[in-house]
Structure 1
Amino acid sequence: MDAVPAGAPQGALFDGAPAVLPAATDAHVRALAQALQVRWGGRLHLGTSSWHFPGWQGLVWQGRHGDALLSRHGLQAYAQHPLLRCVSLDRAFYRPLDAATYRALAAQVPEHFRFVVKAAALVCDAVQRAPGTGAALQPNPQFLDPAAALRLCVQPAVDGLGPQLGALVFQLSPLPATWLRDTAALHRRLADLLAAVVPAVPAGSLVALELRDAELLTPPLAALLRSHGVRCCLGLHDRLPAIDAQLPMQRATWPGDLVCRWNLQRGQRYAQARDRWAPFDRLQAPDVPTRTTLARVVAGTLNAGHRAFVTINNKAEGSAPLSVIALAEALLGLP
């Protein structure tokens, strides 16, 4: 991915295509951003999962653009939205990115902007999968391998993003029954991974673990994460319990910064939500209970002097940018 040339005027051509211009934001959105800054300084980073959605026309950028152009050139416009101060690089999960790609991304955003990077499935999935179908083929020999994690995930992100690496998230794909039955072995392998990864991440950047199996949300895992200074990502997803049921895990690893990825509304599947809610230009199914509880968790974290990184998927409520605005309103509406 190419960097936007420093000092290039808005509307200049890149690779023969017009640059993506930021959408005009209304006074209400600007006032929300200013109020959040006054109350909590720069400790709050709200954002979305990726940025390349044509349906965000008028919300994030001006004009009609295709997915490919937005993927390549939309980040600069995205980062000019006053409430969007981070983004989750979900594509790093499917294919490891090199340092040059990370460096080009960092060149497109202001200094205060942060990236939430998903570590590659080559390290985070216990099985190797068939291309296209995702069917499990065989055990993955690189699952939670420290050397592979450092080579494929950690070092490129650290070298390319530097201080703009907000959090590196190891999201474990749903585990085979053999791993779920032997959590002691899983914890040993996690401990080896974290012992190698945490020292390689610069001060100010976080390492977080995100789960897809509810039975792993246990006190022993909380103790392991806390001993390594790793955050338990608050993963809001159909495969996990509702947010209230995950708060004991957050309390068990307190104090510390918050990493939350609001991925998928409960009762939905990704493909189902995508097909029903595209082009993601409005809130299709507002989840007020989840948003209200999340606002309280975020405010509690910020009020204690910690940071919060919250990224939201279109499949959470129908439009990630509008979910960010609604969460900002909920935060400022708290007593």
Structure 2
Amino acid sequence: MQDSLFPDDEPAPAAPASAARRARGVEPAAHGADLRLLREALPASLRLGTSSWSYPGWVGSVWAQDYSTQKLAKQGLRAYAQHPLLRTVSLDRAFYQPLDAGQYAAYAQQVPDDFRFVVKAPGLVADALRRDESGRGQEWNPGFLDPQLAVQLCAEPLLDGLRGKLGALVFQLSPLPDAMLHDLPALLQRLGAMLRALPPLHERAPGAVLAVEVRNAEWLSPAFAQTLREAGATYCLGLHAKMPPIEAQLPVLRALWPGPLVCRWNLHRRHGVYGYEAAKRLYGDFNALVDPDPETRATLARVIAGTTTAGHAAYVTLGNKAEGSAPLSVLALAEALAAG
């Protein structure tokens, strides 16, 4: 009797709605024809994106519904890459913990063929100090700008894993203590030696760019530009409250011209050099442009247009703390570019 009541081909009872929802992946937001037309109006050599992607507040602009941070971190990239304007992402996680080739390959499998990653090199190589959980420097980091570590912990794993989906490798050099800034020539020598030790990115990732971002204005000198040029690298335009405004950073790019553009817009200047936590509190769920910065946006749009019109690639990523919502900042920048 039991067998006749419950035959083998009987479908299993439906899971509760909440359980079924958890079992599904992350669904992308519905994108209208206007976004696709906007993408078509942008230069093909431009890739816009955000800094990471695991933000529940992006529901409606990137996600179809509300998901947890954990679910988005694990399953959100595929949905993120379906947004018409998001053709790159800054893989910030790699700064805090080196990733292996398998982890990079897993990311690469989740995105279309024309998607490219901007990867931050590990802090084990890019940060001069070992820091505690609050970010305070505790002691000198002996691995800072170490050529062998840069190859083993960064270049080789990401090239093996991402292959042609690598867009830019960025060494974001964290803020240096004053004592180190007094001997910039020695630092430039160390930086150049590390960059030259890296395998040529373009051999395994055609079109990939090697870039250096800094957090001390003292770096911005002709000698810095020369060091980058000699190593086949470019300057990553770092729009951050610790750095001068965009106009004051452009001389370094001009010294490296012609060439590609890499830009990371991370923190609105109103928050000051230690303003990440203040920005996080103010911007909440990161679902609105709380602090629009049309001046920076207009200047950046001109730099992008000049770069792409000359036939060079441009990788531009924006963080939530730039204006309040990274996807909406991407949209505003795209509209500024399309408007000319």
TM bucket (normalised to shorter chain) is: over 0.9
Q: Does 1:56 align with 2:58?
A: yes
Aligned residues: 317
Q: Deviations over 1:190-239 (max 9, x none)?
A: 11101111535634211100000011100110011111220100000000
Q: Specify the code of the residue in structure 2 equivalent to 1:99.
A: A
The match for 1:6 is none
Residues in 1 aligned to 2:310 and 2:199: alpha-carbon distance in whole angstroms: 23
Q: Deviations over 1:265-307 (max 9, x none)?
A: 1021111111110201111110000000000000000000001
Residue 133 (structure 1) shift: 2.3
The match for 2:142 is 141
The match for 2:95 is 93
Q: Specify the code of the residue in structure 2 equivalent to 1:89.
A: L
**Does the Cα contact within 8 Å between 1:219 and 1:252 map onto a contact in 2?**
yes
Q: Does 1:221 align with 2:224?
A: yes
Q: Does 1:289 align with 2:295?
A: yes
Q: Specify the code of the residue in structure 1 equivalent to 2:75.
A: H
Counterparts in 2 of 1:294 and 1:316: CA distance versus 1, 3 Å? same
**Does the Cα contact within 8 Å between 1:167 and 1:206 map onto a contact in 2?**
yes
Pairs within 5 Å for 1:174-323: 174-199=175-200, 202=203, 203-268=206-271, 269-323=275-329
Moved over 6 A (4+): 13-16
Greater C-alpha radius of gyration? 2
Q: Does 1:170 align with 2:140?
A: no
**Does the Cα contact within 8 Å between 1:22 and 1:81 map onto a contact in 2?**
yes
Q: Specify the code of the residue in structure 2 equivalent to 1:235.
A: G
Q: Deviations over 1:125-180 (max 9, x none)?
A: 111112x2222221111000000011111111101000100000000000112220
Give the counterpart of 1:324 among 314, 330, 333.
330
Residues in 2 aligned to 1:93 and 1:14: alpha-carbon distance in whole angstroms: 35
Any gaps of 5 or more consecutive residues in structure 1? 1-12
Residues in 2 aligned to 1:304 and 1:291: alpha-carbon distance in whole angstroms: 20
Give the counterpart of 1:121 among 120, 123, 130.
123
Q: Sequence identity of aligned pairs in percent?
A: 55
Counterparts in 2 of 1:14 and 1:120: CA distance versus 1, 3 Å? farther
Counterparts in 2 of 1:316 and 1:294: CA distance versus 1, 3 Å? same
**Does the Cα contact within 8 Å between 1:44 and 1:309 map onto a contact in 2?**
yes
The SS at the match of 1:267 is: helix
Residue 61 (structure 1) shift: 1.2
Counterparts in 2 of 1:260 and 1:74: CA distance versus 1, 3 Å? same
RMSD: 1.5
Q: Does 1:30 align with 2:30?
A: no
Residues in 1 aligned to 2:20 and 2:238: alpha-carbon distance in whole angstroms: 37
Q: Deviations over 1:36-65 (max 9, x none)?
A: 1xxx22x11000000110000010011110
| Greater mean alpha carbon deviation, residues 187-196 or residues 27-36 | 27-36
**Does the Cα contact within 8 Å between 1:174 and 1:212 map onto a contact in 2?**
yes
Counterparts in 2 of 1:198 and 1:61: CA distance versus 1, 3 Å? same
The match for 2:112 is 110
**Does the Cα contact within 8 Å between 1:51 and 1:78 map onto a contact in 2?**
yes
Any gaps of 5 or more consecutive residues in structure 2? 1-18
Residue 70 (structure 1) shift: 0.3
Residues in 2 aligned to 1:254 and 1:326: alpha-carbon distance in whole angstroms: 27
Residues in 2 aligned to 1:116 and 1:192: alpha-carbon distance in whole angstroms: 22
| Greater mean alpha carbon deviation, residues 283-292 or residues 265-274 | 265-274
**Does the Cα contact within 8 Å between 1:208 and 1:232 map onto a contact in 2?**
yes
**Does the Cα contact within 8 Å between 1:256 and 1:306 map onto a contact in 2?**
yes
Residue 14 (structure 1) shift: 11
Q: Specify the code of the residue in structure 2 equivalent to 1:81.
A: H
Q: Specify the code of the residue in structure 2 equivalent to 1:256.
A: G
Q: Could you tell me the TM-score, scaled by structure 2's length?
A: 0.91
